[in-house]
């Protein structure tokens, strides 16, 4: 049976705690109004919050092991670095909002890490990855908007959007499995690859 996999950054407990506080506060604000079906968004579970670096797709066991090997090799040659989160807003930019997400400040080390992962996945003869042309827009999806209920609720963007300044040290990347469920995806870490692990 094939697995649906990707490479990601998991978050520190500090960041998860801050995001949990935001989710609970916003849920309470939504609860003060009457919505059918429990609210105008589907919240991402706190343990599932992550930053996707490279989506690989459905792979067999041999390809999964190759993806883990490549992730270990690339991570071992990289050094830990800091990223900065900046703002909770609607996404994607320039389109009708489909989600509430946490944006990141531009980060050269993160861009380089993604590029090296993609190059390694494409160059290896494992059938793992095709070149992706769309620009990299790192973010954390906090909630997905239910379009019809969102319009009925008439939410003021100022009630949702605000600055979110927090710094996070990246020490590892993870090969993750995504199991698509009716009420949202569930994620499991297949392998954690520490940065700077090469000796």
- Pairing type for strands 81-91 and 50-59 reads unpaired
Q: Pick the catalytic residue from 3, 50, 129, 146.
A: 50
Q: Pick the catalytic residue from 87, 124, 139, 144.
A: 139
CA-nearest of 80, 82, 79, 87 to 104 is 87
Whose tokens are 């499991």? That residue is 188
Separation of CA 6 from chain center: 10
Separation of CA 109 from chain center: 17
The strands making up 81-91's β-sheet, listed across from edge to edge, are 41-43, 139-145, 99-104, 81-91, 162-170
Separation of CA 91 from chain center: 13
Active site residue 162: no
**Contacts (Cβ under 8 Å, ≥6 apart) of 70:** 117, 120, 121, 124, 126, 128
Active-site residues, by number, are 50, 139
């Amino acid at each position: 049976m094939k697995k649906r996999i990707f490479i990601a950054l998991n978050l520190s407990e500090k960041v998860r705690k801050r995001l949990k506080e935001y989710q609970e506060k916003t849920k309470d604000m939504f609860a003060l109004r009457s919505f059918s079906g429990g609210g105008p968004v589907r919240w991402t579970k706190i343990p599932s919050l992550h930053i996707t670096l490279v989506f690989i797709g459905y792979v067999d066991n041999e390809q999964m092991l190759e993806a883990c090997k490549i992730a270990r090799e690339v991570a071992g040659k990289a050094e830990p670095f800091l990223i900065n989160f900046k703002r909770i807003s609607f996404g994607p930019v320039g389109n009708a909002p489909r989600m509430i997400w946490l944006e990141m400040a531009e980060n050269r080390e993160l861009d380089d890490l993604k590029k090296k992962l993609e190059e390694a996945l494409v160059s290896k003869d494992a059938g793992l990855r095709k070149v992706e042309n769309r620009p990299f827009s790192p973010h954390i999806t906090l909630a997905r908007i239910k379009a019809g209920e969102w319009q009925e609720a008439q939410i003021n963007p100022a009630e949702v959007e605000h600055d979110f300044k927090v710094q996070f040290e990246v020490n590892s990347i993870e090969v993750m499995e995504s199991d698509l469920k009716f009420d949202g995806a569930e994620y499991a870490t297949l392998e954690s690859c520490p940065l700077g692990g090469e000796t």
